[in-house]
Chains A and B, each alone.
Chain A
Amino acid sequence: MRGRDTDRAGFAVNDGVRIYYEVAGDGDPGVLFVPGFQIAPGRQWKMQVPFLAREARAVTYDPRGTGRSDRPLADYGMEALVGDALEVADQAGIDRFVVVAISGGARPAVALAARQPGRIAGVVLIGGSIHPGAAATPTLSLEERRAWALRDYAGWARDWWATSFPEPHSSKPQDDGWEWAQATDAPTLIATSVHGGAAMDVRAEIERVHCPVLLIHGTWDRRVPHEFAHEMQRFFPQSVLVTIDGAGHFPHVRDPVRVNLLLREFVADLAARKVA
């Protein structure tokens, strides 16, 4: 059973690609949860939605390439991802909203904030990555990893999640991760990376982002190492960085209470800052 039933679900259509979204709560402002790598669909926010929906309108969606959304084998570039997010926001009926993004989801989130300053009230980046350099150096090459995923998807995906949750006693999040991974497959994941993904760079757009920014980053993040959080704080001079000592790449899954409280406080502060 879910922690909270969805109030409304549907599909947003962006250039013919259907994006599945869910809405919970109807408070103001909206909160749009932007996913990153397609190995994790909208359900990764299951610990946030029931809490935030009490006071805000929480909107989650499966990114193109997984879950109930379409899985094209190309077209995972910036324009497509930003378009998906905006289309979902429109369909969910959130006009001005906070964007909460994980990992590579930071790129469309930042682009959105730069291009739609009137709509984006604030940005939260969790384990955020804004350019191709901000990634841990893996032991295997890109080709080797792709070959492994195609040959042994379960083994590769389980390893991916084990690396993402280095915290002790993470068996449940790791099992959840494997379940989420099964909402897509290796060829689609490879397509997301070949046709967009980690190659995108939004550094050039950052100077147009003026809204409040909250960065949340674990010191044990083995996907986007913590040093990049400091780099990001230099890019966003207005930002608050919350370092979670001992957390991996998905603190919203593994440390949900702390992350939920941070999100609520961030959203509440924005709501209090009435425009003069």
Chain B
Amino acid sequence: MRAREPARSGFVERGGVKTYYEQFGEGEPTVLFVPSSPIMHSQQWKGQVPYLAGHFRVVTFDGRGNGRSDRPNAAQAYADEEVIADTLQVMDATGTNQAVFVVLCHAWWVLALAAAHPERVLGLIAIAPAVPLAPVHPNRAKYLESFDELRDTYEGWAKSNRHYWLKDWRGFVTFFFGKMLPEAHSTKQLEDIVDWCLGTTPQTMLLNRDAAHFPRTKEEAEAVCRRVRCPVLVIHGDRDECQLPARGEAVAELTGGRLVIVKGAGHVAPGRDPVVVNMLIKDFVESVAEPKPRHIIWERAMQRPRRALFISSSIGLGHVHRDLAVARELRALIPELEITWWAQHPASVVLEAAGERMHPKSHLQALESAHWEEESTQHDLHAFYAFRRMDEIFLANFMLFHDITRETPYDIWIGDESWEVDYYLHENPELKIAPYVFMTDVIGFLPVDAANDPREAELTADYNAEMIEQRARFPYLRDLSLYVGEDYEELPDAPFGPGLPNIREWARQWFEAVGYIVPFDPAPYRDTDALRMRLGYGRGYPLVMAAVGGTAVGRHLLRRVAEAVPLLREEVPDARVVMITGPRIDPRELPDAEGLEKRSYVHNLFEHLACADAAIVQGGLSTTMELVAAGRPFAYVPLRRHWEQQNYVSYRLSHYGVRTRIDFDQATPDRLAATLQALLTQRPVYREIKPGGAQRAAERIAALLKRG
């Protein structure tokens, strides 16, 4: 899912060639992201657009030759003057008189545009500009002259060749952008770029190569740069193998612009260092824009109440209850602590119902649960790939987090599986300006299908390696790493990947275990009769509960449960099944049946599960562990390719003595009915969950805020 959808999109047409554009956000000025076309299209700015559209008006377009734009079949159609004319027409069509231009690599024609049309260019950010002011990178130069010739070998940079392009375009772009991304752990960026490159063809690229581009010589380039009057910012990675940093330096010098060198960065800083690039763009745009009247309130330090920001991950509803339990305990220790919640729907529904204070900008976050729903079909959520494809949502939400933590000073950030915050803080450790607590019950990724999908095994190992390296390099970044579990034996006994540490051993070294956090005291829930009376279910019949958490992923399981109800009632005629669909599934979508009641939301779901004689749930950790705590018989159906439900939750549940796991493929209505019938007669014996997890977590957190 995209982190932000355009407010408006459309096409402009020139000489029969259509160019697709998108427009986001409002307000002055406009930031125009120029595509590096035709090799890439506007998606190359996916890390920038959502954040900057929150502050300015943003326009992007697909250059001719890629994306949704046309691919004319003549070299002259790709000449710079054509692309400049397209750009101006996109500006006209979107009502953009003036814009700050942002370009990666293809700066030569943008500089020409700025020189020829100064009234349209408020400022220019040239990232890794390709302008012939300094030599071509020696690696590329070697094969430039013989680009059109047949070669004996196409190893390495020799791939930069007309014949190789035509033979293996994917091979070329994979090699080329592999070199453009020398930074470790760039698999996702490379995969994205290769995908965008496959949006064009080598034939189109060759037409573009033969088109008239300007300037050809160093002298022409200097003349163009000197004519640029607007403010200029140049950003250049010092490991750029496409454009030598000397080119960026020369552009900055000749235009009187500012130069920012990103050490350790390659050619694609917007993709690989999006946080720093976004902040540079925002600062630059603000500095060239007309100042706007604003009122900023700064509180003197000693004036500030003690404030905590609680980042409650919202993929399901599971964490929010344990977070509320921790918050309760924290308030008992520090009564004056003001807790503000940074959470999204559906967790925000629970928090608001509990009378908690949401951060007023929480709702601006890109919706993670919508992404998970879009990614899941038929009880099948490949959680790792879905997580991986969430990169732009994570980034957009981190940028928002960054902004709100500069607007209000918090005494502490508490993140419950706050993946985006944790990852990007490690990538940008200077942005940590408060004590930071990270808590989690899952540590690392494990492949769900290593045998058939070696790529998944490689990628999960790479993610784990990156996490391990980040922790080792910046151990101070987290002031506390809390493991929500009692015993590291609850974790899989497996390495993080080939040559990587064992998960249990590493967790023991890098985390503090606070015990599993059950958001309620299970003792009163053992008297199911009283509970059933209080919740209005009444006594004297077998009560079955079915719930799938807060997202719509569980729709298919609920449908099968609904189909199982008549079968169950053939054997147990007085059985009643109550189904809690959660806020994102409409009960009307599911079949009706005698003895089946569907409810979309109940307050304190665990109370309802706890009074059931048997329950059927997904493999979400919180819900299953609550059933363990309440001592209820239940079956769980893990999502098919969900690394956490398949590995971590199953490990933990078997540690606590839960035996009834059903794989979705086997979860036919017959099997479900039979399982429920069997569960109704069982009194399971589970390992005890030690109470006090929330209190232990709160004590450790409070120690960061207060002494004595």
Contacts and interface: CB of A to CB of B under 8 A. Distances in A.
Interface string B264-291: 0000000000000000000010111011
Contacts of A244: 298-300
A233 interface: yes
Interface string A227-265: 000000100111111111111000000010010000000
Nearest to A214: B291
Nearest to B303: A246
Contacts of B284: 272
B296 interface: yes
Given A238-B293, A245-B298, A269-B286, A274 B231 contact: yes
B287 A269 contact: yes
A247 B300 contact: yes
B599 to A, nearest CB: 47
A238 B303 contact: no
Contacts of B118: 276
A233 B293 contact: yes
A269 B297 CA distance: 20
B256 A243 contact: no
Nearest to A269: B287
Nearest to B122: A276
A246 B293 contact: no
A246 B231 contact: no
Residues of A in contact with B, size category? 20 to 34
B407 to A, nearest CB: 13
Contacts of A168: 302
Contacts of A236: 293
Interface string B239-278: 0000000000000000010100000000000000000000
B256 A274 contact: yes
Given A239-B293, A241-B295, A273 B288 contact: yes
A242 B258 contact: no
Q: Which of A212, A255, A274, A276 has the most CB of B within 10 A?
A: A274
B294 interface: yes
B266 to A, nearest CB: 27
B298 A272 contact: no
B300 A245 contact: yes
A121 to B, nearest CB: 12
B423 to A, nearest CB: 28
Contacts of B625: none
B230 A241 contact: no
A120 to B, nearest CB: 15
A167 interface: yes
Contacts of A239: 291, 293
Contact of B287 (A238, A243, A255, A272): A272
B300 A255 contact: yes
Contacts of A273: 231, 287-288
A255 B298 CA distance: 11
Contacts of A269: 286-287, 291
Nearest to B256: A274
Most A CB within 10 A of own CB, among B230, B296, B298: B298
Given A274-B230, A274-B231, A242 B291 contact: no
Instruction: Specify the main secondary structure of chain A where it touches its partner.
Output: loop
Q: Is the interface of B mostly helix, strand, loop or mixed?
A: mixed
B306 interface: no
Given A212-B291, A246-B303, A272-B288, A258 B231 contact: no
Interface in A1-25: none
B300 A246 contact: yes
Contact of A240 (B230, B287, B291, B302): B291
A246 B303 CA distance: 6
Given A272-B258, A273-B288, A240 B300 contact: no
B106 interface: no
B298 A258 contact: yes
Contact of B295 (A167, A238, A243, A274): A243
Interface string A156-174: 0000000000011000000
Interface in A195-216: 212
B229 interface: yes
Contacts of B290: 238
Nearest to B287: A272
A268 B231 CA distance: 13
A25 B100 CA distance: 33
B258 to A, nearest CB: 7
A104 to B, nearest CB: 23
B294 A240 contact: yes
B470 to A, nearest CB: 29
Question: Which one of A247, A258, A272 has the greatest number of beta carbons of chain B within 10 Å?
Answer: A272
Contacts of B299: 244-246
Contacts of A241: 293-296
Interface string A26-65: 0000000000000000000000000000000000000000
B173 to A, nearest CB: 37
A239 B287 CA distance: 14
B113 to A, nearest CB: 15
A233 B291 contact: no
A9 B349 CA distance: 65
A233 B230 contact: no
Given A233-B295, A241-B294, A274-B256, 7 more contacts: A233-B293, A238-B293, A240-B293, A242-B297, A258-B298, A272-B231, A273-B231
Interface of B: 118, 229-231, 256, 258, 284, 286-288, 290-300, 302-303
30 contacts: A167-B300, A212-B291, A233-B293, A237-B293, A238-B292, A238-B293, A240-B291, A240-B293, A240-B294, A241-B293, A241-B294, A241-B296, A243-B295, A243-B297, A243-B298, A244-B298, A245-B298, A245-B300, A245-B303, A246-B299, A246-B303, A258-B298, A269-B286, A269-B291, A272-B284, A273-B231, A274-B229, A276-B118, A276-B229, A276-B230
Interface of A: 167-168, 212, 233, 236-247, 255, 258, 268-269, 272-274, 276
6 closest Cβ contacts across the A-B interface? A246-B303, A246-B300, A272-B287, A245-B299, A243-B297, A269-B287
